[in-house]
Amino acid sequence: MFQSIYDTMIAGQRYVLIFQGLGVTLLIAICAIIIGTILGCILALMKISDNRLLKGIGTLYTTVLRGLPLATQLMIFYFVVFAPLHLPKLIVAILAYGLNSGAYCTEIFRAGIQGVDIGQTEAGRSLGLSKRQTLFKIILPQAVKAVLPTYTSEFIVLIKETSVASFIAVMDMTKAGDMIRNATYNAWIPLLTCAIIYLILTLGLTKVFDIFEKRMARSDR
């Protein structure tokens, strides 16, 4: 058993592949969540605005991006949309995941904002705050707290979904596992290694966001 782990992972420095893949996975996930969060903020505000055009754009965006499977989307971005630009495939992957995550973040944020009791808006407005002031000073701080758990799960989903990046030849961790499987004819060691690392990542992330949540909950008491 230890011998086969050694033969599969250590010999020929194959573990390096896993680490390279892990780096790519993390890079894609982190960059994508940043893009997604920024996009989500903008689009969520567009969707709750009174302007019909802005609202329409927001709705169209979330409908299309959430309505297509991620693997399909990724290939559309790589082979069709960004193909004429000749961007590096890692950049395309980050953009594709970011744009996709943006759609989910939009809905998460919108739900959070609209979940704040309407009385809060009314109170703010009757205190003489402008619409904008009410949104940024009263509604958003409360929404952030409400949104955090769902936002965490979006981040976790994103990390896991990077595993289809190999569709466009990005060497993420799953692909690294694939390459090891193809080189060693051993399926379970590379796959289990990847599985454990994904689990550690998602567990760690959940813990980190748990701490955030508890910090924010302090002001409730």
Cα gap 48→58, rounded to integer Å: 9
Nearer to another protein, 80 or 211 (CB): 80
For residue 160, the tally of other CB atoms under 10 A from its CB is 15
Nearer to another protein, 24 or 138 (CB): 24
Binding site for another protein (CB under 8 A): 12-14, 16-17, 20, 75, 78-80, 83-84, 86, 89, 166-169, 171, 175, 178-183, 185, 187
Minimum CB separation from another protein for residue 173, in Å? Answer: 14
For residue 192, the tally of other CB atoms under 10 A from its CB is 12
Of the candidates 21, 47, 32, the one whose C-alpha atom is nearest the C-alpha of residue 108 is 47
Name residues whose C-beta falls within 8 Å of residue 18's C-beta, 6 or more positions apart in sequence. Answer: 9, 173, 176, 177, 180, 190, 193, 194, 197
- Gyration radius of the chain's alpha carbons: 21
Nearer to another protein, 41 or 179 (CB): 179
Minimum CB separation from another protein for residue 187, in Å? Answer: 6
Minimum CB separation from another protein for residue 14, in Å? Answer: 6
Cα gap 34→155, rounded to integer Å: 10
Nearer to another protein, 130 or 182 (CB): 182
Minimum CB separation from another protein for residue 195, in Å? Answer: 17
Minimum CB separation from another protein for residue 33, in Å? Answer: 25
Nearer to another protein, 1 or 80 (CB): 80
